[in-house]
Amino acid sequence: MADHNDSFIREVNDEIRSEQMQRVWRKLGPAIITLAVLIVLATAGYRVYAYWTDDRASQSGDQFLAAQKLAASGKLDDALKDFEALQKSGFGSYPVLARFREASLLAQKGDQAGAIAAFQALGKDSAVPQALRDVAHIRAGWLLIDNGTYDQVNAEVGALAMPGQALRGSAREALGLSAYKAGQLDRAREWFQQITEDAQSPRNISSRAQIMLDNIAAATKTS
């Protein structure tokens, strides 16, 4: 009799749980199905987007390398056209890299004014990562050593010559050379001394700065 009662109680409990589950499913089932569908769609969308971005990046990379080969073979005009096209249709970081290469090729062709303007534009472009903007300022500053004034060089790289700046060695060297070229030996000496006294100055830059200090000292003695 006890076994019969236990069996009956279990059946009743099973029925109750079944009814409870049915009520829960009727209430939450549509939401659960919707969530599952959204997860599937999101996963599929991510995979499609990842494939699309990888494909575009790969195409831009191939175009960049092809333009690089043209430049290396001396076909500068053709390379410039390809880099200009990549700036318009490229994906990811390749348009910015193409702008840098275009500016460098302009300098290589002898168009110093065009190269300076291109690097200056990169340095002012807030869409370009700050580290690359700093490099563009340095490149413009170095071109201005022979194609501008000390004040113009200072306008490009002066802020980067301050303590704590990653490119301060290159910036100080550009300022020192520009001042030396302008006959401002005291100012040049100050910049080169800052390089040699900075323990974190790259060795090659520090060596060149010491050579310039020696030249300035010799020039000062004979004057």
With bands split at pLDDT 50, 70 and 90, how would you rate the model's confidence at 171?
very high
Model confidence over 38-55: pLDDT tens digits?
555 455 555 544 544 555
At 111, list the tokens. Answer: 């168009």
Task: Compute the distance between CA of residue 14 and CA of residue 7 in angstroms, rounded to an integer.
Answer: 11
> What would the mean pLDDT of 189-218 be, rounded to a whole number?
95
List Cβ<8 Å contacts ≥24 apart for 132-141: 132/96, 132/100, 134/160, 134/165, 134/166, 134/167, 135/100, 135/167, 136/100, 136/103, 138/167, 138/170, 138/171, 138/174, 139/103, 139/104, 140/116, 141/171, 141/174, 141/175, 141/178
Residue 12 has pLDDT above 70, yes or no: no
Whole-number pLDDT of residue 52: 44
pTM comes to 0.74
Model confidence over 92-138: pLDDT tens digits?
788 998 999 999 999 999 999 999 999 999 999 999 999 999 999 99
